[in-house]
Amino acid sequence: MAAQPHVQAETFKLVLEKFKASLSASERRRFGATTLQDLEIELQTIQLKQTSERKARAMSRLGRFLEGMKEYDKLVAVFLNTSQLLAFIWGPMKFLLQAYQRIGDHIHLLSQCETVFRQRPEMCHALRLVYEDILEFHWKAMKFFQKRVWQQLFRALWKTFEVEFGAILRNIRDHMSLVTSQATIAQFTEVLRTVELTKIVLQGQIENEKHRRREIVRQWLSAADCEADQETLASIRHEYPGTGEWLFKNDRFSSWFDSMHCATHQLWINGIPGAASLVVEKAQKEQAVTIIFFYCRYLDKDRSTFLGLARGLLSQLLLQDDSLLPYLYEKACTTGQRLSVEQVAREVLETSIKTNEKLYVVVDGLDECEREDRKQIVSFFDNVWTALPDDEKDSLRCLFLSQDDSTARKDFANMSSLKITEAHIRKDIRTYAVARVAEIKAKFDLSTDDQHLFQDLIVDKAEVSVDIDSQCVDWEGKRFRVNSKELCGSLVEIQTNGEVNLVHHTAKRYLVDQDFIDVGSGELTLAMLCVGYLSFPGFDPAIHSSEVCDFAPSGYYGFLDYAYAYWSRHMDAHLRLQKASNGLDELFEAAEVFVDMHGIAPQTKIVVPKSFSERWKATNQTRDPEKLMAAAYISQRQLNASAKQEAEDHVLGLHVTVQQVRKCLEEMCLSNKSERFRSAYGTEIFKCPRVNCTRFYNGFRTEQEREEHVPKHERSFFCTFAGCAMAKLGCATLKDLQRHENEYHGSFTLEDGEPEYPEMPPERVSFKCAVCNAEFTRNNNLKIHMRKHSAPNEKSFICSRCGQSFARLGDRTRHESTKHSSAKTFTCGGLLKDGTKWGCGREFDRGDTLSRHWKGEKGKMCISVKKQEEETENASTSASVHPSNASTPGA
């Protein structure tokens, strides 16, 4: 039984209400009142503007769509007795001027199907589906074009158009085919089922592609783990509830933090580092606010430079705004392995910041950065905020926290400041003191047995897993039983990701300056540990894979990645710092054993820089100092970001053993799920072979992820067009990528469309001789030519020195400058000792011209005789010196 018109109208209404729910209140009001006439006026305005600017585009592309929608409008009005529905298609169209021709191709024949709708009212369901498709198309496109700075993002997003919008266009085609083919109910049901299945499959493909792109961007950024910093500081603060709340009662801070009423857009808080964690936590709970943050750390290039900050902030922006993915992905594909160019970082960060309606930026610990870096960071955000239009100033809030010093005041001179004093934090100090007193009481309330147990644990902690003397690794028996925080107390802090850091860079300086730690001795110990460990039986070049698998479960290879990468760096640091020779003999002996065990014959000669060999001259006392120095130099060189390890560069065969061990661990991780194995090797077993890649140490969970990652080091420029094979294979250089995109995808510009009206070429002017019909492009050339006809034998230009006549003024001038000039000339030729002449006798005005003459084939023949004479006489001068009796340049 056919559905009643009012029932059909209700189904349309449900679709419309769903679409309206995705709009803002202002959008609902504006779109709901829009008519087709309003849209046509808007299009005419745009067309007139483009024509006046000589930038006209093919607006006729919209014609097919408008005609089809007019027919659709008539049918809806007749059968559903309503006309408001189409207002929500006319309105969003103001934001779109692309792709409508494709939609029009599918719906332009609706008027021919009017009889079908009269005879079969159930076919109105197909109209409802088409309406839903067009609304979805508008919603996706409109959300993009309403985004801030969409012009900068447009190029990247357009390349994904077919994936994002192609499915909707296919749905319109399929739904319209139901109408044009007058489908039966069974056919109708089958098409709907097919469309739904296709949606599910396509959505899975889109999600997989997004995941792949997001992983490429994440590797390109390789950002510091800001979230781990935040979690660590927040967990510490949570141990002392109520601390830091005083800040939100401060008027100056509140004027910055209030999302609705802001009087201070940039604020500098000077006080203790880490105070930002509560601000971040509170801001994350605010509605319609995006918060990004960064914790600086001294001497950590990923946490103390503008590049490091840009990477960290971009990583967070991507996590909170998926629409940035196409833009960042395109940048990652066209700028190399990692974001390492400051200008690119500035451009990308500024664009990404401007896409937000309301963004809070919090940078803590700026005093941990060098002065130039700090100044650069502050000025960047100040410039971005200053450049915003007045009505968008409130879209960006910046909060900086650092210690107060004279240079800091200069950097923050243009913004409001808030100084944290003892009065502010007195209550927090009291809360902390009370909690610590309770801990101390609990600690010293131990029983006697508990005290003995604790003392035994301290003894166990003093031992480490790697035993150089016995050449064994006892991961279970000798590893630390408690964390580093309990060992080192307030000197260190442990991040939630397990990373251990000194509480502040001044702690290291204090320990070194007060001689609690001898850096040179520490580097020696680590060098001995690495070199000795890599000489264990488990790294023997002749070891069998089965033996590797026997060693692995005990945690034997848990120290391999670090030792392999840094053994030479620790040796180099010790040689730089150590003033006395204490311990060098033992280190050199261990290094000799290490090189003897792993040494191989290099395929090419390794050239070690003089500065490096000078620093390592103490190794001359070893048996093979050249091989040791070459091995150490190559080991350090491969740590450089741009280094590329060539197969013929290897002096040690240790890399083969590393590959063998890793292969064994990869096979074992699939079957060995024990806690000991996970504790020793982690869960990211599949690692990159490049030592200068962070993935060499922290790998991937699957082999597929690793295999997709490794080629990026060699082919790090990727096509950004969805579905292209080169999006995965990549290109070796940016030039190769540009050539590929031009050849296979065509050139692309933001002004894509109809070609501009070309400038008319200048009219060709011709000057014709009336006597012989010769043509000239310049009038003066014609005048010179005419002299031949008027006085062919007359030579009216006479030399004033010798009386010679010339037909043209230029000929006389050249004659006088060469024959009668007092300037010195340079001659190719002269006399040999036996009186014979050499050279061609040509004269030159300049010495450099004569020199170039002698470098040519004819000139070489000229001077070869003189050179032979000089060689026979064993002249002391070189063959390139000119003959003494010739006119030479500069003589």
Per residue in 775-796, pLDDT tens? 777 776 777 777 666 654 556 6
Burial class (CB in 10 A: 0-12, 13-18, 19+), 880: exposed
Comparing C-alpha atoms, which of 346, 868, 32 is closest to residue 860? Answer: 868
How do strand 830-831 and strand 826-827 relate by DSSP bridges? unpaired
Would you state the pLDDT for residue 671?
77
- 611 and 567 co-located in one domain: yes
Which band of pLDDT confidence, cut at 50, 70 and 90, is reported for residue 353?
Answer: very high
Would you state the pLDDT for residue 22?
59
Number of domains in the chain: 6
Longest Cα separation, the chain: 131
What is the domain range of residue 722? 717-744
Q: What is the mean pLDDT of residues 101-111?
A: 61
On whether residue 732 sits in a domain, the answer given is: yes
Which band of pLDDT confidence, cut at 50, 70 and 90, is reported for residue 449?
Answer: very low
Would you state the pLDDT for residue 707?
84
Would you state the pLDDT for residue 451?
37
On whether residue 159 sits in a domain, the answer given is: yes
* C-alpha span between 564 and 696 (Å, rounded): 11
Would you state the pLDDT for residue 620?
85
Tell me the three state secondary structure of residue 402: strand
CB 850 within 8 A of CB 825: no
* 659 Cα distance to chain centroid: 29
* C-alpha span between 32 and 274 (Å, rounded): 50
* C-alpha span between 567 and 565 (Å, rounded): 6
- Residue identified by tokens 């007060």 is 514
* C-alpha span between 479 and 277 (Å, rounded): 33
Give Cβ neighbours of residue 360 (< 8 Å, ≥ 6 apart).
283, 289, 290, 291, 292, 397, 399
Tell me the three state secondary structure of residue 539: helix
Pull the structure tokens for residue 262: 């802001």
Q: Evaluate if residue 866 carries a pLDDT over 70.
A: yes
Other Cβ atoms less than 10 A from the Cβ of 141: the count is 21
- 132 and 235 co-located in one domain: no
Of the listed ranges 135-149, 205-219, 275-289, 859-873, the one predicted with least confidence: 135-149
Q: What is the mean pLDDT of residues 107-117?
A: 64
- 835 and 880 co-located in one domain: yes
Which band of pLDDT confidence, cut at 50, 70 and 90, is reported for residue 226?
Answer: confident
Would you state the pLDDT for residue 359?
93
Give the CA radius of gyration of the chain: 40
CB 776 within 8 A of CB 782: yes
Which band of pLDDT confidence, cut at 50, 70 and 90, is reported for residue 495?
Answer: low
What are 838's strand-pairing partners? 830
Q: Evaluate if residue 694 carries a pLDDT over 90.
A: no
Higher pLDDT, 726 or 247: 247
Of the listed ranges 411-420, 464-473, 521-530, the one predicted with least confidence: 464-473
Q: Evaluate if residue 808 carries a pLDDT over 80.
A: no
Q: What is the mean pLDDT of residues 350-355?
A: 90
Give Cβ neighbours of residue 599 (< 8 Å, ≥ 6 apart).
624, 627, 631, 651, 652, 653
Comparing C-alpha atoms, which of 748, 630, 598 is closest to residue 157? Answer: 748
* C-alpha span between 232 and 621 (Å, rounded): 49
Q: Evaluate if residue 312 carries a pLDDT over 90.
A: yes
Would you state the pLDDT for residue 383?
92
Higher pLDDT, 689 or 337: 689
On whether residue 194 sits in a domain, the answer given is: no
Q: Evaluate if residue 889 carries a pLDDT over 70.
A: no
CB 114 within 8 A of CB 75: yes
Comparing C-alpha atoms, which of 657, 646, 653, 629 is closest to residue 568? Answer: 629
Higher pLDDT, 159 or 553: 553
Q: What is the CATH number of the domain that holds 424?
A: 3.40.50.300
* C-alpha span between 613 and 619 (Å, rounded): 9
- 423 and 456 co-located in one domain: no
* C-alpha span between 562 and 710 (Å, rounded): 20
Would you state the pLDDT for residue 305?
92
Comparing C-alpha atoms, which of 614, 660, 679, 198 is closest to residue 465? Answer: 679
On whether residue 642 sits in a domain, the answer given is: yes
Which band of pLDDT confidence, cut at 50, 70 and 90, is reported for residue 294?
Answer: very high
Which band of pLDDT confidence, cut at 50, 70 and 90, is reported for residue 771?
Answer: confident
- 546 and 610 co-located in one domain: yes
Comparing C-alpha atoms, which of 435, 440, 439 is closest to residue 237? Answer: 435
Q: Average per-residue pLDDT in the chain?
A: 75
pLDDT tens per residue across span 279-289:
999 898 888 89
The 8-class DSSP code of residue 398 comes to E
How do strand 290-295 and strand 492-494 relate by DSSP bridges? unpaired
Burial 382-405 (b: 16+ CB within 10 A, else e): bebbeeeeeeeeebbbbbbbbeee
- 463 and 591 co-located in one domain: yes
CB 396 within 8 A of CB 388: yes
Of the listed ranges 73-82, 119-128, 318-327, 868-877, the one predicted with least confidence: 73-82
Would you state the pLDDT for residue 458?
32
pLDDT tens per residue across span 696-737:
888 888 888 888 888 777 776 777 776 676 776 677 677 777
- 132 and 43 co-located in one domain: yes
Which band of pLDDT confidence, cut at 50, 70 and 90, is reported for residue 464?
Answer: low
Of the listed ranges 228-242, 435-449, 606-620, 629-643, the one predicted with least confidence: 435-449
* C-alpha span between 363 and 571 (Å, rounded): 37
On whether residue 668 sits in a domain, the answer given is: yes
Which band of pLDDT confidence, cut at 50, 70 and 90, is reported for residue 46?
Answer: low
Would you state the pLDDT for residue 95?
40
pTM summary value: 0.55
Q: What is the mean pLDDT of residues 423-433?
A: 82
Contacts of residues 434-441 at CB distance under 8 Å and 24 or more positions apart, as own/partner, are 435/239, 435/240
Would you state the pLDDT for residue 873?
73
- 310 and 423 co-located in one domain: yes
On whether residue 689 sits in a domain, the answer given is: no
- 226 and 147 co-located in one domain: no
- 658 and 777 co-located in one domain: no
On whether residue 325 sits in a domain, the answer given is: yes
On whether residue 761 sits in a domain, the answer given is: no
Pull the structure tokens for residue 654: 């240790």
- 420 and 537 co-located in one domain: no
- 738 and 603 co-located in one domain: no
Q: What is the mean pLDDT of residues 111-124?
A: 68
Would you state the pLDDT for residue 32?
62
Q: How many helices (H) and strands (E) does the chain have?
A: 39, 17
Would you state the pLDDT for residue 517?
79
Higher pLDDT, 502 or 869: 869
pLDDT cut 90: percent of the chain above it: 7
Would you state the pLDDT for residue 761?
44
Tell me the three state secondary structure of residue 749: coil
Would you state the pLDDT for residue 376?
92
Of the listed ranges 79-88, 561-570, 604-613, 717-726, the one predicted with least confidence: 79-88
